[in-house]
Amino acid sequence: MAAEVTKRKTDIGPPHYEKFLPPVIKENYGKWKYHEIPRPGVMVHVAQSGAKLFSVRAATPRLMSIETLRLFAAIADEFCGGYLRFTSRNNVEFLLDDEKKIEALVTRLGKEGYPVGGTGPGITNIVHTQGWVHCHSAASDASGVVKSLMDELFPHFERPDLPAKVRVAFACCLNMCGAVHCSDIAVLAVHRKPPKINHDRLPKTCEIPSTVAACPTGAIRPATVDGKQSVQVIEEQCMFCGNCFTVCPSMTMADPENDGISIWVGGKVSNARHEPMFSKLAIPYLPNNPPRWPEVVDAVKKLVDVYAKGARPFERMGEWIERIGWPKFFKLTGIEFTKYHIDDFRHAGESFRRSTHLRQSRG
Amino acid sequence: MTDRKTPMLDELEKGPWPSFVKEIKKSAKSPMVRDLLGQLERSYEEKIGHWKHGGLVGVKGYGGGVIGRYNDLPAEFPEVSEFHTVRVNQPSGWFYTSEALRTLCDIWDQHGSGLTNMHGSTGDIVFLGTKTSELEPIFSKLTAAGYDLGGSGSDMRTPSCCVGPARCEWACYDTLNFTYDVTQTYQDELHRPAFPYKFKIKAAGCPNDCVASVARSDLSVIGTWRDEIQVDQAAVRAYAQGGKLNIHRDVAGRCPTRCIAWDGTTLQIDDENCVKCMHCINAMPKALSPGKDRGAALLVGAKAPIVEGALLASVLVPFIKMEPPYDDIKELLNAMWELWSEHGKNRERIGEFIQRIGLGNFLEQIGLEAVPEMVTQPRTNPYIYYDLN
Q: What is the pLDDT of residues A165-186, one digit of tens each?
A: 999 999 999 999 877 999 999 9
Q: What is the pLDDT of residue B386?
A: 94
How far does Cα B174 stand from its chain's mean position?
16
Yes or no, beta carbons of A35 and B285 under 8 Å apart: yes
Q: Does B363 contact A at CB distance below 8 Å?
A: no
Yes or no, beta carbons of A15 and B43 under 8 Å apart: no
Q: What is the pLDDT of residue B4?
A: 86
Q: Is the pLDDT assigned to residue B331 strictly greater than 90?
A: yes
Write the Ramachandran bin of B236: left for phi over 0, alpha for psi from -120 to 50, otherwise beta.
alpha
CA-CA distance, B334 to B331, in Å (whole number)?
5
B138 — phi, psi (to 5°)? -60, -45
Q: Where are the alpha helices (DSSP H) in B92-217?
A: 98-111, 135-144, 175-185, 187-191, 213-216
pLDDT tens, position by position, B308-322: 999 999 999 999 999
pLDDT confidence tier of residue A4, bands split at 50, 70 and 90: low
Which of B231, B236, B267 has the alpha carbon at shortest distance from B252? B267
- Whether omega before B325 lies within 30 degrees of 0, making that bond cis, reads yes
pLDDT confidence tier of residue A65, bands split at 50, 70 and 90: very high
Q: What is the pLDDT of residue B2?
A: 53
Å between B259 CA and nearest CA of chain A: 12
Contacts of A14 in chain B (CB under 8 A): 89-92, 147-148, 180, 183
Residue in chain B nearest A76 by alpha carbon: B98
Report, as an integer, the average pLDDT of B194-213: 98
Residue type, A142: A
Yes or no, beta carbons of B26 and A65 under 8 Å apart: yes
| DSSP β-ladder status, A83-86 and A92-96 | antiparallel
Regarding an ipTM greater than 0.90, the answer is yes
Q: What is the pLDDT of residue A6?
A: 55
Q: What is the pLDDT of residue A177?
A: 86
β-pair partners for B268? B261
Which of B203, B181, B172, B213 has the alpha carbon at shortest distance from B326? B181
- The most distant pair of C-alpha atoms in chain B lies apart, rounded to whole Å, by 75
Contacts of B247 in chain A (CB under 8 A): none
Q: Is the pLDDT assigned to residue A1 strictly greater than 50?
A: no
Q: What is the pLDDT of residue A347?
A: 83
Residue in chain B nearest A144 by alpha carbon: B12
Report, as an integer, the average pLDDT of B100-128: 98
Percent of chain B at pLDDT > 70 equals 99
Q: What is the pLDDT of residue A25?
A: 98
Q: Is the pLDDT assigned to residue B155 strictly greater than 80?
A: yes
Dihedral sign for Cα B179, B180, B184, B189, please: positive
pLDDT confidence tier of residue B53, bands split at 50, 70 and 90: confident
Report, as an integer, the average pLDDT of B253-273: 98
Q: Is the pLDDT assigned to residue B55 strictly greater than 80?
A: no
Yes or no, beta carbons of A86 and B171 under 8 Å apart: no
Yes or no, beta carbons of B95 and A11 under 8 Å apart: no
Contacts of B192 in chain A (CB under 8 A): none
Report, as an integer, the average pLDDT of A87-91: 98
pLDDT tens, position by position, A146-155: 999 999 999 9
Dihedral sign for Cα B73, B79, B84, B85, please: negative
Q: Does B338 contact A at CB distance below 8 Å?
A: no
CA-CA distance, A77 to B99, in Å (whole number)?
9
Q: Which residues of B251-280 are buried (b: 16+ CB within 10 A; e: fewer)?
A: bbebbeeebbebeeeebebeeeebebbbbb
Q: Is the pLDDT assigned to residue B265 strictly greater than 70?
A: yes
Yes or no, beta carbons of A70 and B105 under 8 Å apart: yes
Angle in degrees, CA A177, A183, A184, rounded to 5? 155
Contacts of A21 in chain B (CB under 8 A): 95, 166
Contacts of B16 in chain A (CB under 8 A): 115, 151, 154
Which of A279, A214, A277 has the alpha carbon at shortest distance from B197? A214
Å between B263 CA and nearest CA of chain A: 21
Residue in chain B nearest A181 by alpha carbon: B304
Q: Is the pLDDT assigned to residue A2 strictly greater than 70?
A: no
Q: Is the pLDDT assigned to residue B356 strictly greater than 80?
A: yes
Give the residue from B11, B23, B30 with the most A CB atoms within 10 Å of its CB, the best one to mutate. B23
Report, as an integer, the average pLDDT of A346-357: 92
Report, as an integer, the average pLDDT of A111-119: 98
CA-CA distance, A281 to A264, in Å (whole number)?
4
More confident residue, B160 or A347: B160
Side-by-side strand order, sheet with A168-171:
A168-171, A185-190, A260-265, A280-287
Q: What is the pLDDT of residue B387?
A: 87
β-pair partners for A232? A221
> CB atoms < 10 A from the CB of A72, how many?
23
Instruction: Give the three-class secondary structure for B94.
Output: helix
pLDDT confidence tier of residue A361, bands split at 50, 70 and 90: confident
Q: Which residues of A242-281 are buried (b: 16+ CB within 10 A; e: fewer)?
A: bbbbbbbbbbbbbbeebbbbbbbbbbbbbbbbbebbbbbb
Yes or no, beta carbons of B96 and A148 under 8 Å apart: no
